[in-house]
Amino acid sequence: MKQWEKTIKFIAKEYSSRYKVLQVGTGDSPLTVPFYEKCGFEYSHRIKDFFTDNYDHKIYESGVLLKDMIYLRKNIALLPLYSQQRHTL
């Protein structure tokens, strides 16, 4: 496991008792989107032309012009403990 994967795993564990979702925003890059998907993130939504509208210069990653901001989400909420689930008959 690489350092960034360890970092994401640590962040998810550290905040799972306080938050339900971990969300990231990144460029539509052939490097970053697959990385986050490998870490368990799923596509949420995109903001069209985010980078071209909000930066005064073009941004390239791996030769690709970044235009849209891609948001990905990962559910990090702790599952309820069985002992806390009480059922009455």
Find the mean pLDDT for residues 10-15. 91
41 near 24, Cβ under 8 Å?
Answer: yes
Report how far residue 43's alpha carbon sits from residue 36's, in angstroms, rounded to the nearest whole number.
9
When mean pLDDT is compared across 26-30, 64-68, 77-81, the lowest value belongs to 77-81
Q: Which amino acid belongs to residue 33?
A: V
| pTM to 2 decimal places | 0.79
Query: 67-88 pLDDT, tens per residue?
Result: 999 999 999 987 555 444 444 4
Report how far residue 5's alpha carbon sits from residue 14's, in angstroms, rounded to the nearest whole number.
14
DSSP 46: E
Question: Which residue segments constitute the domains of the chain, with CATH numbers given?
Answer: 3-79 (3.40.630.30)
